Amino acid sequence: MLLLELFWSFVKIGFTSFGGLSMIPLITSEMLAHGWMTAEEVSDIVGIAEMTPGPVGLNCATFAGMRTAGIIGAFAANLGALVPSLTFCALAAMFFERFKNSRRMTQVLVGVRPASLGMIAGMMVTMTMQNYVRADTVSWVCVGIGLLDALLLMKWKVSIPAVIGISAVLGLLFFGVLGL
């Protein structure tokens, strides 16, 4: 029954999101609603999914399924996450010529863009609260690491893997060795 629930949760996520980062609030909601993971664990899998190659939503499905029900759970979650995409791709291929120059399709896509942006903004606020607030107070160490990451990425153009490595070392230093 757990595998079916996991599969169905990711089918719903896939059909009600627009892929990528917009899936994260829905994944969080499903994981918390079923009691499969805590908000902190979801935040952790999102961080891992961002670091690993491949689509973020599919990586999240893999890690959430693995955490919930092992390898078979990862398979069920991935299959559920892929069903909507495969369905839409098959339908799009069947009707591509008919809708290629459709004014209605253009209007639908114009409406989807702000919805996607709103979901991503909501996810950013949620993850900011989970990652920078500890025990109901702002963790200035976490804020400092985040600001350093932003500078490294935007000003000095340091590669993403290097920034992840630097952040991991700083996290281990401040929260492991120093115990802040």
Write the pLDDT tens digit of every residue in 93-105.
887 677 778 888 7
Q: Which range marks the domain in which residue 178 is found?
A: 139-180
Write the pLDDT tens digit of every residue in 63-90.
999 999 999 999 999 999 999 989 988 8
| Domain co-membership, 34 together with 60 | yes
pLDDT given for residue 61 in this prediction:
92
| Domain co-membership, 127 together with 143 | no
| Domain co-membership, 14 together with 75 | yes
| Domain co-membership, 99 together with 162 | no
| Domain co-membership, 49 together with 129 | yes
pTM tops 0.75: no
Tell me the CB-side half-sphere exposure of residue 116, using CA atoms within 13 A.
10
Q: What percent of the chain has pLDDT over 70?
A: 99
SS3 assignment, position 55: coil
Q: What percent of the chain has pLDDT over 90?
A: 58
| Domain co-membership, 129 together with 144 | no
| Domain co-membership, 74 together with 147 | no
Which of 61, 63, 57, 62 has the alpha carbon at shortest distance from 44?
Answer: 63
| Domain co-membership, 37 together with 126 | yes
Which ranges constitute the DSSP H helices of the chain? 2-16, 24-34, 39-51, 56-99, 103-132, 140-154, 160-171
What sign results for the dihedral spanned by CA atoms 154, 158, 160, 163? Answer: negative
| Domain co-membership, 83 together with 123 | yes
| Domain co-membership, 123 together with 149 | no
Q: How many domains does the chain have?
A: 2
- Rounded Cα distance, 155 and 160, in Å: 13
